[in-house]
Structure 1
Amino acid sequence: MRTVAVWWTVPNLVTVVRLALVAPIVVLLVRGGPPLVAAALAAVFAATDWVDGFLARRLDQVSRLGERLDPVADRVGIGAIAVALAVAGAAPWWVLAVFPAVDVVVAGVYAVRGRGRRLAVARIGKVRTAAAMVGLFAVMAGLAPGLEPLLPVGQVTLAAGAALHVGAGAVYVRRMLRGPADPQRGPPRSGHCAKSPMRV
């Protein structure tokens, strides 16, 4: 699968839409808006994480911008929504510290030992993202009258996502510390950002 140089691709547009959804979700949570509306937008946010990768493969539009923009959208979205939930008193603050702390460590190791590498996405990283997004959705839905039992379920799932984030970070750090970077490693085989070096 080729990697296109242009940025105006359909998958990238979907990723931008995902980023654009973050602001209204945060505003709804912080201002006490309808939680089910926020949860519905969060569901769309989560779905686009799969849609952009599917379209990139289907349309053969894997791009370098997409490789970098997709994980940024995930990080910004999950982090901002988690902060909004914490401000609303619906999520524990310690979860907020885990995600950026791990990202800083991985980024630091990558800057020293990872340049030139293209690391395949670890299975634990995929499970982590799924757990975090499901947890966020369940917490938001649990704020709605009649759906309160979903709140603790979502909190536990979100905490599990944070724990998996630590595990995923450890996997990538270990890979980068194994040996020198391999500049001959080829481009991503598939996916919108399936082998983005900072996709953890």
Structure 2
Amino acid sequence: MTAANRPDWATIPNLVTLVRFVLLAPVCLLLLDGPDTLAVVLLLVWASTDWVDGMLARALDQTSRTGAIIDPIADRVGLVAIVLSLAVADLLPWAALAIILAVDVAMVALATQAALGGRISVSWLGKIRTFVLMSSVFLLVAAAAWVPSLVPAAQVLFWVGVVLQVVSGADYIIRARRAPADAPAAEEPLSPR
């Protein structure tokens, strides 16, 4: 089926994104039970689907509006669920989860319409924030499973990601509020997908 003949949602990259949603429950259950090697491996597989879906979208020329919408949703829902699991497991403080959630809720309330309308796009700061948060969560889980003495260092990196969450969230909201209703996005599309 050619790109012109297939529905917007019917792409291999979107299937990979759906796999990310499906993997989230077992990842969180393993984290709640205490990080071990299986939790580390499954978390790595879960996180790698974010890179894989974007790479496939570009390589197969299967970018889609659906993918541009569900990919960042999968990132945000996944990160919140994993941070919640790590807070329950006493590896992260509840304050970190509260900050991440507050910023995400503010972005949804104040910037979603501009993002869906194509008036703003994901910034490099937002991509760096996501990379730091995802990397720090993975390193924290790996440290808890294999080298507990490194847990504090991973927690510090995570807090750097939380600060980036606040800064990039504020930037996203400010850009959304300043974008005229008929202005196209000044940067790259909503998502690399």
Query: Which structure 2 residue ranges, 5 or more long, are not aligned?
Result: none
Q: Partners in 2 of 1:86 and 1:116 — Cα distance? A: 35
Cα offset, 1:17, TM superposition? 1.1
Q: TM-score, normalised by structure 2?
A: 0.87
Query: Superposed, which structure 2 residues align to 1:1-200 within 5 Å?
Result: 5-32=7-34, 35-110=36-111, 116-145=117-146, 147-182=147-182, 185=184, 193-194=191-192
Q: What fraction of aligned residue pairs are identical, expressed as a percent?
A: 43
Letter in 1 for 2:103: V
Cα offset, 1:6, TM superposition? 2.7
Q: Partners in 1 of 2:144 and 2:179 — Cα distance? A: 48
Letter in 2 for 1:24: P
Query: Which stretch of the first structure deviates more once superposed, 3-12 or 77-86?
Result: 3-12
Q: Is the 8 A contact 1:132 1:161 kept in 2?
A: yes
Letter in 1 for 2:19: V
CA RMSD of aligned residues (A): 2.5
Q: Which has the higher helix share?
A: 2
Q: Is the 8 A contact 1:134 1:154 kept in 2?
A: no
Cα offset, 1:77, TM superposition? 0.9
Q: Is the 8 A contact 1:98 1:162 kept in 2?
A: yes
Q: Partners in 1 of 2:97 and 2:123 — Cα distance? A: 22
- Post-superposition Cα deviations, 1:139-176, rounded to whole Å, max 9, x if no partner, equal 1112225x113311221111111110111111111111
SS at match of 1:149: helix
Q: Partners in 2 of 1:99 and 1:20 — Cα distance? A: 22
Q: Partners in 1 of 2:153 and 2:136 — Cα distance? A: 8
Q: Is the 8 A contact 2:47 2:134 kept in 1?
A: yes
- Post-superposition Cα deviations, 1:40-98, rounded to whole Å, max 9, x if no partner, equal 11112221111111111111111121111101111111111111111011111111011
Change (3 A) 1:135 1:177: same
Letter in 1 for 2:192: A
Matched positions, count: 189
Change (3 A) 1:194 1:118: farther
